[in-house]
Structure 1
Amino acid sequence: MTTATRRTLLAGSAAVATGSAFAAGSVLTASAALAASAAQAHTRGDGGQKPTVVLVHGAFADASGWNDVATRLIRDGYPVIAPPNPLRGVAADSAYLASILATLEGPLVVAAHSYGGILATNAATGNANVKALVYVAAFAPDQGETLLGLQTKYPGSRLDESALDFRPHGDGVDGYIRKEVFRDVFAGDVPKATTDLMWAGQRPGDVRTLQEPSGAPAWRSIPSWYLVARDDRVLPAAAQRFMAQRAGARTVEVGASHVAMIAQPAATADLIRRAAAR
């Protein structure tokens, strides 16, 4: 791989950055969440059905980054599912998420972090059960936009060439955040003992995702909410505000690193509840 190619891949690899791999509590698996949902009838205070909340992670992480948020929502009676993200490409990952959404009955709220946002934007399009989208320091692209283009639209990301390792796999290349900078760049407000585990368990994203164009955005027809992480060193807050405003999202801001759902789980869960209550 040439130096120029490495720099091109690197400049946007922040775009695939997403939620943490570990948080307090046990890992919430999709099957466990579905089983819990099927075992109980969940209703709102007015007697209506509570929507199922689908939590979408992205690269450098797994679904356990949502644990603290999921715990709060489950305690409040919401069915929750946090499916795995293949992290192989925008089109493939979006199709996978869409296939999961298609198996779920009743109203849905899809909440996504970072790279997961482009998947929610594509996968929810045309699904009449999806009643709300919640973006948590996440990408909310318009049709034809790429992660690389949005991530570099505003200055401020600290994920540069020295921050990543690249490892080939088959005909592709995966990107990993280096241990020396993981906490500072990705999760500066999370305890080091936790970020050490997050780094160890990070799942990489295929760098080909960076320049894959997005499809027709679901936020044009589905109401959206956005949690802006002001202290984000991966996806600049200015980019988050731009996407939130363009989508007409109800927006709140918190002082948090890129992994806002770990650093600010109460605020994140509250925003999801607001979306679910619409």
Structure 2
Amino acid sequence: MTSTFDPDDKNSWYFGPMSRQDANDLLMSESEGGIFLVRDSTSIQGDYVLCVREDSKVSHYIINKIVEDDQTVFRIGDQMFSDLPSLLNFYKLHYLDTTPLIRPAPRRVEKLVAKYDFDGRDDEDLPFKKGEVLTVVTKDEEQWWTARNALGQTGSIPVPYVQKLEETDSRTSAGVNGSPAAKDSPPKPKANAQRALPVFARVNQSRIPNVFDKTALTLEVGDTIKVIKMNINGQWEGELNGKVGHFPFTHVDLVDAVPDNEKR
């Protein structure tokens, strides 16, 4: 089959932050080889992964972003390219393992529902109200995505303020049917104003930070962090294993009990 995609159309092939499993699921739902996408590397910030349906499997090719002397190049295997479109254009004509690149994977429509009001802080933001349904346009960063509302307006939204629509149907119906729904508060410091810092939180999701980010904490499920600051941007600060650093609040749950080693 002849490749027909435009390598310069980044919105067609770049899927941003995406797990290996999600890429596998999406590409394995396609029936032909050569369908691909480019996602962010989950292990090294700044690198990318070219994911390609090949025969009965999905191959994941790491793309290293190398910056030297103010010049950026992208390396895949032993090939070097000046940018990602050049790399993709090369593999339109050359085989990876069993196939060249044919076309980008289709995007699935992902709907979100707002858990809290968001007024927006910058011109690029998309304000919304609790319960409003939004459509994901791109997943640009871990904490900020681009979304579209029912009026067709697009902008940046904070990920902790929304969740997938299908996960909230039962939660939102209570308020719609007349029973008073529990009042939620946005995930920011004032929502925990009743707690005097420091407080303690238990890690619910592992996280290995970028090796170049010396101030980020490495998280393992079950770790207990001493939270010393709750920033409104969702990056909290705390102490873990003798190191003070920052971490995303979405990776922890606050706990009431004080660990034995912290009791005085």
Range of TM-score over shorter length = under 0.3
TM-score when scaled to structure 2? 0.25
Structure with the larger helix share: 1
TM-score when scaled to structure 1? 0.24
Larger RCO (CA under 8 A, 6+ residues apart): 1
